[in-house]
Amino acid sequence: MGRVRYNQSGYVGCSMSVNAMLAYEAGEMPESKWSKTRMLQEIEAYCDENDIPYHGEAAKLTKKQVFAEFFEWKSWHHTGKYARETDFYGLNEEAIDREFGNAENERCDATRYRKVPA
């Protein structure tokens, strides 16, 4: 594909496709855009939303380890002035569930063994 013109159909300005912009809004980004801080925020937010206990365990890992363990390829989109294909990544929810446990089971266990006031 040739060079993208400013506001070409299907593009935002001349740096990314509309679909790439929508992917950003959905929480997907190229690997180079993910900082360790941002990845940890996404993990913590997912755990909070799904009542999964998370105590910062992933913070002990390196950035590469966090990315490899908890993020996965989601899609590709055209980016840049020459519309190159760029891979986008997002949170691997199954890995989070697997690593930090199923909150539903933990809630049941906590209820079963909770001391009931007399």
User: Model confidence over 1-44: pLDDT tens digits?
Assistant: 565 555 555 666 657 778 888 898 999 999 999 999 999 999 99
Average pLDDT over residues 87-115: 70
> How many domains does the structure of the chain reveal?
1
Residue 50 inside a domain? The answer is: yes
Produce one character per residue of 50-63: b if its CB has 16 or more CB atoms within 10 Å, e if not: eebebeeebeebee
Residue 3 inside a domain? The answer is: no
Residue 2 inside a domain? The answer is: no
Q: What is the pTM of this model?
A: 0.74
What is the residue range of 20's domain? 11-112
User: Please, which residues have CB within 8 angstroms of residue 21's CB and are 6 or more apart in sequence?
Assistant: 12
User: Model confidence over 59-80: pLDDT tens digits?
Assistant: 999 999 999 999 999 998 877 7
Residue 39 inside a domain? The answer is: yes
Residue 27 inside a domain? The answer is: yes
